[in-house]
């Protein structure tokens, strides 16, 4: 079959095949889903995106070895902490990682993870970089975006080379939040904020750690940000 015919055939089948959807409680692996129109529905899942800030300038202005070391150290820290707080790593995309949290405390777990990532990058990874690159003024900064919603997951790609695609508001908005200013390292939607327990809303002195914003890039939605960090 010619390549053009193969692509047309796949598109035709995809648009014409009825979806098979089942509810899920555990984040699936690609092998748990068929490549046809097969999906798992989560009534609620919380998506966390951790994104390295200013990675384009990093690559353009620094040696590739240094840029690669920053990428690797940041992604390792974020990934370890996603798992530490009970999330599942579902995607790497260049300079960012996507984690999914499910269960009764998913919003609290995701926010806890974000605050730990802020601590790890600012205090641990940055310090180790400075031990080697003593004269460098470079600051490793990141932005974490978190949203929660109903979401569906399906398998996409070709046989032998495929992955999961997450379709829902939380996946889209969590990713978009990471485009906001890195001076506020963690951004969450109102849906996430409303689900937080007091331990995630207030600092050690009882202060509210979150600032409310209007998000002009998305219908002036109410969002919250913080510079706070948490150890582990």
Q: Show me where the domains of the chain are located.
A: 18-25+32-226
**Whole-model pTM over 0.85:** yes
Helices 64-84 and 106-119 sit at what angle, rounded to 10 degrees?
140
pLDDT in tens, the chain (232 residues): 799 999 999 999 999 999 999 999 999 999 999 999 999 999 999 999 999 998 989 999 999 999 999 999 999 999 999 999 999 999 999 899 999 999 999 999 999 999 999 999 999 999 999 999 999 999 999 999 999 999 999 999 888 888 999 999 999 999 999 999 999 999 999 999 999 999 999 998 999 999 999 999 999 999 999 999 999 9
Q: Is 9 left (phi over 0), alpha (psi -120 to 50) or beta?
A: alpha
Q: What is the pLDDT of residue 28?
A: 94
pLDDT tens profile 116-137: 999 999 999 999 999 999 999 9
Fold of 18-25+32-226: Alpha-Beta Plaits (3.30.70)
The rounded distance, in Å, linking the Cα atoms of 41 and 22 is: 6
Q: What is the pLDDT of residue 79?
A: 98
Q: What is the pLDDT of residue 188?
A: 98
Summary mean pLDDT of the chain: 95
The rounded distance, in Å, linking the Cα atoms of 15 and 17 is: 6
Q: What is the pLDDT of residue 76?
A: 97
């Amino acid at each position: 079959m010619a390549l053009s015919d193969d692509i047309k055939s796949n598109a035709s089948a995809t648009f014409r095949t009825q979806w098979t959807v089942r509810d899920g409680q555990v984040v699936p692996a690609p092998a748990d889903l068929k490549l046809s129109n097969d999906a798992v529905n989560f009534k609620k899942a919380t998506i966390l995106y951790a994104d390295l800030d200013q990675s384009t300038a990093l690559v353009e202005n620094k040696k590739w070895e240094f840029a690669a070391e920053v990428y690797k150290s940041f992604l390792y820290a974020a990934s370890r902490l996603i798992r530490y707080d009970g999330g599942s790593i579902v995607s790497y995309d260049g300079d960012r990682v996507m984690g999914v949290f499910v269960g009764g405390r998913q919003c609290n777990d995701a926010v806890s993870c974000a605050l730990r990532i802020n601590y790890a990058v600012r205090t641990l990874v940055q310090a180790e970089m400075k031990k080697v690159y003593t004269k460098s003024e470079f600051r490793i900064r990141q932005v974490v975006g978190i949203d929660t919603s109903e979401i569906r997951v399906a398998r996409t790609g070709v046989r032998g080379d495929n992955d999961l695609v997450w379709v829902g508001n939380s996946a889209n908005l969590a990713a978009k939040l990471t485009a906001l200013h890195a001076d506020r390292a963690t951004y969450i939607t109102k849906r996430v904020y409303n689900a937080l327990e007091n331990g995630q809303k207030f600092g050690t002195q009882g202060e509210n750690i979150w600032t409310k914003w209007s998000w002009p890039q998305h219908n002036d939605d109410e969002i919250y940000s913080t510079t706070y960090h948490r150890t582990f």
